[in-house]
């Protein structure tokens, strides 16, 4: 098996350390995009060093695991729209939404290190933070995406 993660038939996001670090997808309570999200994270874990041709670092397992935990365990209300998922050149994962006049970006280095950018183009409100722990605030922003 390659070093990067694989998504099994049982819809489990698995990480190189082995099954003790796997995270199960609770299908009945999850939005429809969760499996696609897990697939995308696994793709990002396959990226080699310098995947952007400018010297980017490989995506860290802690970042993919943190993104999975944050989105699937804490922010996966059935009404949460599917996020865009991109790697960062510093080894992280960024999930983002751009709709309804809202730009919301969560830059995840690990489960405990999440940076946030929020902009409401209608009101001009901008919030930036390198460490964001207020999940209720993030949920309130996500709800704006469906307004």
Residues in touch with other proteins (CB under 8 A): 44, 47, 51-57, 84, 86-90, 94, 96, 98-99, 103, 105, 107, 115-117, 119, 126, 128
Minimum CB–partner distance for residue 24 and other proteins (Å): 27
- C-alpha 26/C-alpha 106 separation (Å) is 22
| Complex with other proteins: residue 12 or 56, whichever CB lies closer | 56
| Complex with other proteins: residue 7 or 86, whichever CB lies closer | 86
Minimum CB–partner distance for residue 144 and other proteins (Å): 16
| Complex with other proteins: residue 34 or 108, whichever CB lies closer | 108
- Residue closest to 60 by CA, chosen among 71, 47, 74, 73: 47
Both structure tokens of 12: 């489990």
Minimum CB–partner distance for residue 38 and other proteins (Å): 17
Three-state SS sequence of 50-115:
CCCCCCCCCCCHHHHHHHHHHHHHHCCCCCCCCCEEEECCCCCEEEEEEECCEEEEEEEEECCEEE
| Complex with other proteins: residue 12 or 144, whichever CB lies closer | 144
């Amino acid at each position: 098996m390659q070093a990067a993660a694989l998504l099994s038939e049982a819809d489990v996001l698995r990480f190189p350390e082995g099954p003790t670090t796997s995270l199960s997808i609770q299908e009945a309570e999850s939005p429809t995009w969760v499996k696609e999200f897990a697939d995308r994270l696994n793709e990002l874990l396959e990226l080699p060093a310098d995947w952007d041709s400018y010297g980017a670092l490989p995506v860290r397992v802690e970042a993919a695991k943190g993104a999975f935990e944050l989105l699937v365990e804490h922010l996966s209300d059935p009404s949460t729209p599917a996020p865009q998922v991109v790697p960062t050149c510093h080894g992280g994962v960024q999930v983002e939404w751009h709709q309804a006049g809202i730009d919301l970006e969560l830059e995840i280095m690990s489960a405990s290190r999440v940076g946030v950018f929020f902009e409401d183009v209608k009101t001009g409100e901008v919030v930036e933070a390198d460490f964001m722990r207020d999940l209720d605030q993030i949920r309130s922003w996500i709800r704006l995406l469906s307004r």
